Amino acid sequence: MTGVVSKLWEDVPVLNSLDPLVELGIARLQNWSSKDTLAILAVAVGGASTFSYYVYTHLDPTLRQMISGEVDRGQVGREIQKRGPIHKVYGLNGPGYLIWGEAAGKWMLNTEKNNLFSGREGRSKFSRLLFQGSILDKDFAAHSKTRRLLSQAFKSDSLRAYLPRMVQEVRHDFDLWVQLSNQKGYVDLELELKQLALRFAFTLLVGADFTKDHEMSTGLVQKYEELLLGFIPWPIGEWNGKEKSMKVRRMLVEDVKGIIRKRRELLAKGVMPDFSDPLWLLMNTKDENGQGLTDDELADECVVLVIAGHETTARTLASFTVEILQNPTLLLDLRKEQSDLVQQFPLENGNYTNDHIKHMPLLDACFREIERMYGPAVEVSRVVRNDIVFKDPESGKEMKIRKGKRIAWSITATNRDPRVYPDPDTFDPYRWIEGAAASPSASAASAKGQDSDLGAVKVSSFRLATFGAGHRVCLGMQFARMEMLIIAGMMIKDYDFSDVKPGVELIEVRRPKFGYRDGVPVKFTKRV
């Protein structure tokens, strides 16, 4: 070694100038000790940790919590807000940008019609696989066309038609929960709510004759939990989760195709059934060229309706239950609202009607607050189709974003914007009731924008971002809100569920499932 270096040193003039360094290097090599190895290892470990720390702190904060498995939305919101109106993140789908707040949402979601942002490409690889061929997998003209078709099923008239069936299903389940609670001591409301919402999605949206057999439907809910595994970022074995998810998807597609076949057989026999569900609407709708959707396309749309239509509402309802369990005074106020309501509007065969649903301002306000603080979706994301400049209207800060990059609008940070919601991490349903003494931000509630016609409150979806905003705003928003008000209203009015199983901590997690670590096991009894 020394010989080679000395030869080089003689032959290559530039090495002469390095003479002292080379000599030193050679001397070090000749006297190499374990201390040197330790020093190099220390530098390598130090460098690697600094690098990892840099990458970790620049990860999407939501993703960071997904990695840790725990959920602290207040912390996520604050962290995003601290980084300014836009910042770079390294997320699951590669480097991208995170924006938040009303103005940023309008910038991204209002201009979609100019073909600048792709919703289809903004989805993760797994989500694209799961929702392939559906409205979520379409952009621009194709998206608008499908949306026009699907929205027929979510118009006020259609919603009204779902109500009696919903009420009937809810009553059936509540009676069952009382029995289960008596038998087992406790009933897991998180699981039961999922089961109920899944049956709503199957029966009302796809027209399935879904079993009421409790064990069988519990099994189905567990299968659908598997379907969501693909959304959970596991450090190891992620693909395994995706494989399982896709298996459940295939099962769902086959079920839906079976329903379509049965309906076509009826039509072929000359029977013209009167189904009022989205599947039926889609089966009978033709475009301007007289073309309808194929059975494969129909099944793809139904996958979205069933999945988007049950998991999200069930989780929001579970969060509502948990919040109420911690807030006995609010529960009393809600009970009073329910008993006043039935005095004002008589029940029909002992059940709620549309009039009841429209007159529950406090319960409606509670759900706005639950949506704001614990909505199931954390962001909506898009991919930019041309180079574009983001300019923050307030600070004037600009950032150039290159074609092909992903931008996500944070629902979590937008819903906790302290400029719109004073004391954003405090659960305060009264902030949604205009003029209420305890409402520090009645202005938030009075902001104009797209919203449900249920309940008393109107708010722009660019401020309350839970259901997304702009021309891809959630199609099932009103359906979901109606479903949640019915379930929660009937539960509060007629049942007690305040006794949580001893030793259970109601901790929200994202792994190994989305929801509460130990479920929400409570005693469920009929009120006398």
Binding site for ligand HEM (CB under 6 A): 119, 135-136, 147, 205, 304-305, 308-309, 312-313, 316, 375-377, 380, 466-468, 472, 474-476, 479-480
366 assigned ligand-binding residue: no
Helix (H) or strand (E) holding 245, with range, is: helix 238-268
> Of 63 and 475, which CB lies nearer to ligand HEM in the complex structure?
475
> Of 338 and 414, which CB lies nearer to ligand HEM in the complex structure?
414
Which residue type, as a one-letter code, is found at position 312? Answer: T
Which residue type, as a one-letter code, is found at position 413? Answer: A
Check if the beta carbon of residue 490 is closer than 8 Å to that of residue 524.
no
Task: Give the whole-angstrom CA distance, residue 184 versus residue 225.
Answer: 23
> Of 376 and 521, which CB lies nearer to ligand HEM in the complex structure?
376
> Of 143 and 356, which CB lies nearer to ligand HEM in the complex structure?
143
> Of 367 and 430, which CB lies nearer to ligand HEM in the complex structure?
367
Euclidean distance between the first and the last CA atom of the chain, given in angstroms as a whole number:
93
Task: Give the whole-angstrom CA distance, residue 505 versus residue 316.
Answer: 18
Q: Taking the complex as a whole, how short is the minimal distance between the CB of residue 198 and ligand HEM, in angstroms? A: 11
Task: Give the whole-angstrom CA distance, residue 41 versus residue 38.
Answer: 5
Q: Taking the complex as a whole, how short is the minimal distance between the CB of residue 117 and ligand HEM, in angstroms? A: 10
Check if the beta carbon of residue 303 is closer than 8 Å to that of residue 201.
no
b/e code 484-511 from CB counts within 10 Å (16+ = b): bbbbbbbbbbebbbeebeeebebebbbb
> Of 178 and 488, which CB lies nearer to ligand HEM in the complex structure?
488
Give me the residues paired with residue 508 across strands: 516
Task: Give the whole-angstrom CA distance, residue 220 versus residue 199.
Answer: 10
Q: Which of 195, 216, 202, 293 lies closest to 256 in space, CA to CA? A: 202
Q: Taking the complex as a whole, how short is the minimal distance between the CB of residue 414 and ligand HEM, in angstroms? A: 11
Q: Taking the complex as a whole, how short is the minimal distance between the CB of residue 332 and ligand HEM, in angstroms? A: 26
As a dihedral over the C-alpha atoms of residue 398, residue 402, residue 406, residue 407, rounded to 10 degrees, the angle is 20
Q: Taking the complex as a whole, how short is the minimal distance between the CB of residue 180 and ligand HEM, in angstroms? A: 25
Q: Taking the complex as a whole, how short is the minimal distance between the CB of residue 300 and ligand HEM, in angstroms? A: 12
Which residue type, as a one-letter code, is found at position 283? Answer: M
What's the chain's Rg over C-alpha atoms? 28
> Of 119 and 241, which CB lies nearer to ligand HEM in the complex structure?
119
Q: Taking the complex as a whole, how short is the minimal distance between the CB of residue 465 and ligand HEM, in angstroms? A: 7
Q: Is the peptide bond before 512 cis (omega within 30 degrees of 0)?
A: yes
> Of 375 and 515, which CB lies nearer to ligand HEM in the complex structure?
375
The DSSP result for 292-314, as a single string, is ---HHHHHHHHHHHHHHTTHHHH
Q: Which of 427, 522, 420 lies closest to 178 in space, CA to CA? A: 522
Q: Taking the complex as a whole, how short is the minimal distance between the CB of residue 482 and ligand HEM, in angstroms? A: 9
Q: What is the DSSP letter of 466?
A: T
> Of 136 and 407, which CB lies nearer to ligand HEM in the complex structure?
136
Q: Taking the complex as a whole, how short is the minimal distance between the CB of residue 306 and ligand HEM, in angstroms? A: 8
Q: Output the residue with the shortest Cβ distance to ligand HEM.
A: 476
Residue with tokens 């800060």: 397
Which residue type, as a one-letter code, is found at position 387? Answer: D
Pairing of β 406-410 and β 94-100? parallel
For the annotated binding site for heme, the residues are 474
For the annotated binding site, the residues are 474
